[in-house]
Amino acid sequence: MKKLKIVTIGGGSSYTPELIDGFIKRYDELPVTDFYLLDIEEGKEKLEIVGKLAQRMVEEAGIPMNIHLTLDREAALKDADFVTTQLRVGFLDARINDEKIPLKYGVLGQETTGPGGFMKAQRTIPVLLDICKAMEKWCPNAWLINFTNPAGIVTEAITRHSAIKTIGICSGANSMMMDIAKAYDVKKADIYARIIGLNHLIFADKIYVKGDDLTDDFIEKLAVGSANNSLKNIPDIGFTARFARALHMYPISYLKYYFLTREMTETAIRDSEKKGTRGEQTREIEKKLFELYQDPNLNHKPKELEQRGGAWYSDTACSIISSIFNDKKEVHVVNTVNNGTTPDLPDHVTLETNAVIDKNGAHPLAYGRLPVKIRGLIQSVKAYEELTVEAAVTGDYATALLALSINPIVPSAAIAEQILDEYLEVNHAYLPQYKR
């Protein structure tokens, strides 16, 4: 049998059983012979726990997929076909800092779209670029399937600063399509949505159910509240009916951070006080998950994992890897280089949109000019993202300050400066690129 080797960096993540479950289900089309779970010394314990669960899952499924647990990067990467990443530099403690420091200044932390995402990018991008360098050495032809948040920004860093082939993925669009499917009581496969935007900032401007354009109908469902977006990790503050109709697109829930900044900020402050930040809640959920995972009788993905908020994560990853591996030319929503998809963004930046996926990568469908109503927001967040990547790569304070100042969620450059200074202070162990 031909070898098919997959590596997951951050293999000790609580998400891993989800991913393994996906590969088990698709074994017929993706006959993985070797699955490496790679982690670092500090993650060794978790890796052991989750890795053994993975091995029990594979055994139960009765398939010849070898699960390897390792801390040895070379062993893991050598001749790999696909590398996925789900790492979190600084673990959840760093995330909790990301969220709490801005809140002190009355600013949303938000780990992907807000200052939290900026800070996570500063920690993560150098690590990812280092992984890319290792890949250039040990598996230069492998595909890097990047989940690591902020996925759009991280993918842009890789495409600009590495020769490794990469696609950035996110479960958000699939989650939206699942919501549409629910509203019409059909299967997700019956739904097709045209998606445009950036990661966690996407709009579905055309919604097809079994090939029929039901955009108007679905927008009305949104307006009257009979359809909804079910992302578990985002507070449920709805748009008004008039705004939903005016926008006339289906926005991902994360867009509330931009369109309802004040209300989302107030909710975050309240929630932080009452039930902790999302990061603190996640720490609790993870703790319980790892308790479950330790059960030697558990040999399947536990139901409780769904609460974690990454429902479509595994499905998204596996189907895209399969479309590459089997040269399927399926259309998926991914993060990839603009390259003219819309002339309203620079050619070299990443965007999130529908793309044909085959053995040679992601080929986005030309979109043309962005509608004015969403153009400015997309452009302004993209400018923030470009500076965020530049800051992460250069460690230049001025660039970092500008990046944070132009993030639309941040209401003041003076406050951005204060947040940045605190951020750099508490994160300095993870920021070798910033000279002090």
Question: Which residues fall in the annotated binding site for substrate?
Answer: 95, 149
Interaction with its own copies in 207-236: which residues (CB under 8 A)?
Answer: 208, 210-213
| Binding-site residue positions | 95, 149, 170, 200
Is 126 within 8 Å of 148 (Cβ atoms)?
no
Measured between alpha carbons, how far is 37 from 48 in angstroms, rounded to an integer? Answer: 10
- Tokens 């308790």 sit at which residue? 291
- Tokens 């979109």 sit at which residue? 367
Comparing CB distances to its own copies, the nearer of 71 and 331 is: 331
The only residue of 74, 263, 273, 291 in contact with its own copies, by rule CB under 8 A = 263
Measured between alpha carbons, how far is 186 from 195 in angstroms, rounded to an integer? Answer: 20
Name which of 238, 173, 239 is nearest 205 in CA terms.
173
Q: Is 338 in the site for its own copies (CB under 8 A)?
A: yes
Instruction: Tell the smallest beta-carbon distance from residue 410 to its own copies (Å).
Output: 9
The only residue of 40, 383, 424, 426 in contact with its own copies, by rule CB under 8 A = 383
With a CB cutoff of 8 Å and minimum separation 6, the contacts of 230 are 175, 178, 179, 182
What single string gives the DSSP state of each residue in 282-344? HHHHHHHHHHHHT-TT--S--GGGGGGS-TTHHHHHHHHHHHHHTT--EEEEEEEE-TTS-TT
Report which residue type is found at 95. R
Comparing CB distances to its own copies, the nearer of 73 and 256 is: 256
Q: Is 320 in the site for its own copies (CB under 8 A)?
A: no
Comparing CB distances to its own copies, the nearer of 225 and 368 is: 368
Given 15, 250, 254, 430, which residue is catalytic?
A: 254
Q: Is 189 in the site for its own copies (CB under 8 A)?
A: no
How many chain residues touch its own copies (CB under 8 A)? Answer: 72
DSSP β-bridge partners for residue 85: 9, 146
Measured between alpha carbons, how far is 105 from 208 in angstroms, rounded to an integer? Answer: 43
Annotated catalytic, 254? yes
Q: Is 377 in the site for its own copies (CB under 8 A)?
A: yes
Q: Is 78 in the site for its own copies (CB under 8 A)?
A: no
Measured between alpha carbons, how far is 387 from 328 in angstroms, rounded to an integer? Answer: 35
Comparing CB distances to its own copies, the nearer of 43 and 152 is: 152
Q: Is 75 in the site for its own copies (CB under 8 A)?
A: no
Instruction: Tell the smallest beta-carbon distance from residue 157 to its own copies (Å).
Output: 15
Interaction with its own copies in 132-161: which residues (CB under 8 A)?
Answer: none
Q: Considering only 30-38, 145-153, 325-333, 423-431, which stretch makes contact with its own copies by CB under 8 A? A: 325-333
Catalytic residues: 254
